[in-house]
Amino acid sequence: MSVSRRWTIADLEQIESKEGERYEIIGGELIVTHAPSWRHQHTGSQLNTALQNWSNETQRGTTLQVPGLVFSAEDGAIPDMVWTSWERLRAAEDRAGHFTIAPELIVEILSPGSDNVRRDRETKLALYSREGVEEYWIVDQLRRTIDVYRRAGESLDLVQTPAGDDVLESSSLPGFCLPIARIWPPTL
């Protein structure tokens, strides 16, 4: 019988981190990911700018890239981006500046590889659903789509998948609209 180690957030302090790596723990499992590609970063930057411009206009909250989310001793994630209201941010921050409760919106941009895709589409979807995220966007650069999940009772349910010339809107962010064709990197 094999016994796998259950990692905790406290264990992360003992790991000698390497530049360009992210360390997450979900369900006690240590997950190490590498720095994303420039295309990934371009898409994230464009989406971040659109969300932050909306935030600046409405004064409702802020957009943050790669924040630490620490939900429990065995669940800590680093999503690509979040949007949170000022009210929730005030209630969510621990002494180290990490979120201890879910922000309203989490965005993950898929990285290549079946493990990465499965983690964002299954493991993180389940975690964010369990922790009370109101909306979760999974950005797929290959398909040039965004899967939009919204809270429906106790779970996050897929409600739309904008593609092509579609406009991304959100009931959680009144007045926010973004033609998704604007976020994709140029073809070189």
pLDDT at 97: 77
pLDDT at 2: 54
Q: Is residue 2 part of a domain?
A: no
**Residues contacting 57, CB < 8 A, separation 6+:** 175
pLDDT at 8: 86
pLDDT at 36: 85
Q: Is residue 16 part of a domain?
A: no
Q: Is residue 84 part of a domain?
A: yes
**Residue in this structure with the two tokens 């464009």, named with its chain if needed:** 46
pLDDT at 1: 52
Q: Is residue 3 part of a domain?
A: no
CA-CA distance, 181 to 37, in Å (whole number)? Answer: 19
Q: Residues of 113-135 as b/e, b for ≥16 C-beta within 10 angstroms?
A: eeebeebbeebbbebbbebebbb
Six-digit token string for 89: 């941010």
The number of distinct structural domains making up the chain is 1
pLDDT at 151: 96
Q: Is residue 50 part of a domain?
A: yes
pTM of the entire predicted model: 0.90
Q: Is residue 11 part of a domain?
A: no
Q: Is residue 65 part of a domain?
A: yes
Q: What is the mean pLDDT of each run of 10 residues along the chain (188 residues)?
A: 75 82 86 86 95 96 90 91 92 81 95 92 96 97 96 96 96 94 89
Q: Is residue 127 part of a domain?
A: yes
The CATH number of residue 172's host domain is: 3.90.1570.10
For residue 74, the enclosing domain spans 37-182
pLDDT at 147: 98
pLDDT at 3: 57
